[in-house]
Chains A and B, each alone.
Chain A
Amino acid sequence: MNNLIDDGRPIFVQIAERIEDDIIEGGLPEEAQVPSTNQFAAFYKINPATAAKGVNLLVDEGILYKKRGIGMFVAEGARTKVIEKRKEQFFEEYVITMIREAEKLGITADQLTDMIQRGDNKR
Chain B
Amino acid sequence: MKNVIEVKQLNKSYGKFNAIHDTSFTMQADKIYGLLGRNGAGKTTLMKMITAQIFPTSGDLKVFGGNPYENANVLSQICFIKESQKYPDHYNILDVLDVSKSIFPNWDVDFSRLLIEDFNLPLKRRIKKLSRGMLSAVGIVIGLASRAPLTIFDEPYLGLDAVSRGLFYDHLMEDYVKHPRTVILSTHLIDEVSNLLEHILVIDNGKLIIDQDAEELRGKAFTVTGQTSKVEAFLIGKETVHREPFGGLLSATVIRNQNGSDQKQAEANGLEISPVSLQQLIVHLTSGKSEQKGAMAK
Contact = CB atoms under 8 A, between A and B. Distances in A.
A9 interface: yes
Interface residues of A, number: 25
Contacts of B194: 7
A66 to B, nearest CB: 19
Contact of B278 (A1, A7, A47, A97): A7
Given A50-B214, A104-B270, A7 B191 contact: yes
B55 interface: no
Contacts of A2: 195
A53 B275 contact: no
A50 B198 contact: yes
A8 B174 contact: no
Interface in A1-59: 1-2, 5-13, 38, 41-42, 44-50, 53
Nearest to A13: B219
A35 B32 CA distance: 22
A45 B192 contact: no
A121 B219 CA distance: 38
Contacts of B216: 10
Contact of A7 (B166, B177, B275): B275
A41 B267 contact: no
Nearest to A51: B177
A46 B196 contact: yes
A41 B177 contact: yes
B196 A45 contact: yes
Interface in A53-93: 53
Contacts of A11: 195, 215, 218
A2 B194 CA distance: 11
B215 A5 contact: no
B197 interface: yes
Contacts of B222: 8
Given A49-B198, A50-B215, A42 B169 contact: no
Interface of B is mostly: helix
A38 B173 CA distance: 9
A13 B260 CA distance: 15
A46 B192 CA distance: 11
B31 interface: yes
A119 to B, nearest CB: 23
Given A45-B170, A45-B173, A97-B267, A9 B195 contact: no
A95 B47 CA distance: 51
A47 B195 contact: yes
A95 to B, nearest CB: 13
A49 B166 contact: no
Contacts of B170: 45
B277 A12 contact: no
Nearest to B166: A1
B106 to A, nearest CB: 20
B160 interface: no
A13 B218 CA distance: 11
The 10 A-B residue pairs with the shortest CB-CB distance, nearest first, are A8-B275, A7-B277, A38-B177, A46-B195, A47-B198, A10-B219, A49-B198, A10-B215, A9-B219, A10-B218
22 contacts: A1-B195, A2-B195, A5-B195, A7-B277, A7-B279, A8-B218, A8-B275, A11-B215, A11-B218, A13-B219, A41-B173, A41-B177, A42-B174, A45-B173, A45-B195, A46-B195, A47-B195, A47-B197, A49-B31, A49-B198, A50-B198, A104-B270
Interface of A: 1-2, 5-13, 38, 41-42, 44-50, 53, 97, 100, 104
Given A1-B192, A45-B170, A45-B173, 16 more contacts: A1-B166, A7-B194, A7-B277, A8-B218, A8-B222, A8-B274, A8-B277, A9-B218, A41-B177, A42-B173, A45-B196, A46-B196, A47-B173, A50-B215, A100-B267, A104-B270
